Amino acid sequence: MAVEKLKRREEVRKEDTWAIEDLYQDDKAWEEDYQRLSERIPKLLEFKGRLGDGAEVLLSMQKLWDELNMLAEKVYVYAGQKMHENTENGVYQNLSNRAQSLLVKLSEAGAYIEPEILELPDGMIEKFLEENKELLVYRQYFENMIRQKEHVLDEAREALLAAVGELSEGPKDIFTMFNNADLRFPVIKGEDGEDVEVTHGRYVTLLQSQDREVRKAAFEALYGMYGKYRNTLAATYRANVKQAVFFAKTRKYESDLEAALSGSHIPVTVYKNLIEVVHAFLPQMYRYVELRRKMLKVSELHMYDLYVPMVQSAEQKIPFEQAKKMVLAGLKPMGEEYRKLLEEGFSSRWIDIYENQGKRSGAYSWGAYGTHPYVLLNYQENLNNVFTLAHEMGHALHSWYSDATQPYVYAGYKIFVAEVASTCNEALLIHHLLEETKEPKERAYLINYFLEQFRTTLFRQTMFAEFEKITHGMQENGETLTADRLCKVYYDLNREYFGENICIDKEIELEWARIPHFYTPFYVYQYATGFSAAIALSKKILEEGERAVEDYKKFLRGGSSMYPLELLRVAGVDMEQKKPVEDALQVFVQYLDEMERLMGHDEV
């Protein structure tokens, strides 16, 4: 039987692709802006040594700096998104590399700005703000800069770090090209005996198969390929950790964890609290694992059994058109304005929907200031992908609200709050679906899905975060991150997080080797904190209605005009406390209780 092949990019219907022409009509238009940016970057140096000359000079520099960064963002996003359409396309690999190099040149040209501002006499910035009201918009920007004064170096070393910045992207670039363009997985037998090529996009779908042999084959096929390159991948991961440690030490941080959190003004205790609270709830995870084993009716649960639904749904295939309707219905509590924006995104081709040959794996929302946001999907017709759509559109509308409200300098929100809007959408959608059905089997299926969200987001992402904390700490202590050491750390964490009621298959020790987010150090913990905040915010929206929605929109509109923890307090959540994470995990326990009750129902 013929292998089901992925479409080539040129075979994909226009209606199923994003409207990249809304950024640039074509490559020629991109080239014109690229050249314009190249020519204007040197003008930034005309302000060097003059920032203390007066409020007007400082304002002129800031306006130019914003203008150049805005243009650079547009150039970079277009090149990146075109490359992600087909990572094998050499034309857009070249455009992406050129855009990245130009960003480095811009960073080098602006390397004097922070050191020079920080060298101004105390009180001068405040004096300038009083003299020129146009400068007032930059108050938070200046205050945040001064807050990190001890970590900003002199001009020469800042210029050097800016130049080294391009080299530091090497490990991430290598992993991206290997993982998306070069790596090919074997063909396995599918549920009907047909040949199926394992791909990034199909992997989780295969793990959700009711045929255990299909799950096992997909699991072994995927990790078998990563195993062949374990030493190369360890060297790539090690290089990325080394660059993070280098920049942290150079900037005089106690650790690269502190450095990663400092930009968002997040105390390291928030990271540590997350791990501590999740550890306290690990017995509930063991309870869930045992429930899964019983419901799947297997004598021994394996790692490849974790994704298959414990309860089969009557309708497993969900076409994309139906997915859009489900998301719109689920987000009704957000009000008409929010839902109209969703509809605009659906109808105006904000979304690149389906997998094709060479397309970047996974899903994301991205975009450039002044243009609507974009969403990349690799849509598969299942419930998980419906929630991915809700999740990524949460990111997109967060960006839309922020861009529409904030000046460029504050439009980009910090990573710490990035996952809140996306996960709040998911929480509202699951609530809607649970409200819609009282039929025991369907209810059990949905609760199964929600429990899996906790497992994969709160528990698993915290395990990822702990892996990063351990391995980055090892590097800081001078230990070499070999493949064997990385595999041992990861395997041991799986044993701790999943307990004794599951077989921790040897292959899972390689999972670290396939996680793209590890190349943005200390990013993943924010999925777990964001999930916790989102559970709290969705609860407020459902209980308080319009008032809570308005507070939530203040958060969405805030961008980075306030520190992330302050923004969340505006919406009604204090993430410096353990309580939001504890409360979220109590919801996990609540639904685990209900699932155990439903397990005894004849219809389940």
Please list the active-site residues: 392
Measured between alpha carbons, how far is 23 from 370 in angstroms, rounded to an integer? 9
Task: Take residue 540 and report the two structure tokens written for it.
Answer: 């407020």
Task: Answer yes or no: are the C-beta atoms of 548 and 583 closer than 8 Å.
Answer: no
Pick from 315, 569, 319: nearest CA to 437: 315
Provide DSSP, 345-408. HHHTT-EE-S--TTPPPS-EEE--TTS--EEE----SSHHHHHHHHHHHHHHHHHHHHHHHS-H
Task: Take residue 99 and report the two structure tokens written for it.
Answer: 């855009």
Measured between alpha carbons, how far is 389 from 375 in angstroms, rounded to an integer? 9
- Written in H, E and C, the secondary structure of 267-314 is CHHHHHHHHHHHHHCHHHHHHHHHHHHHHHCCCCCEHHHCCCCCCCCC
Helix 268-280 with 579-599: angle, nearest 10 deg: 20
Q: Which amino acid is at 299?
A: S
Whose structure tokens read 């034309």?
A: 91
Q: Tell me, what DSSP letter sits at residue 520?
A: S
Pick from 173, 160, 154, 141: nearest CA to 62: 141
Task: Answer yes or no: are the C-beta atoms of 97 and 148 closer than 8 Å.
Answer: no
Helix 230-250 with 155-168: angle, nearest 10 deg: 170
Measured between alpha carbons, how far is 376 from 389 in angstroms, rounded to an integer? 9
Measured between alpha carbons, how far is 246 from 248 in angstroms, rounded to an integer? 5
Provide DSSP, 532-559. HHHHHHHHHHHHHTHHHHHHHHHHHHTT
Whose structure tokens read 């006499």?
A: 121
Pick from 596, 466, 572, 472: nearest CA to 524: 466
| Phi, psi for 195 (deg, rounded to 5) | -80, 130
| Phi, psi for 363 (deg, rounded to 5) | -150, 150
Pairing of strands 374-376, 351-352: parallel
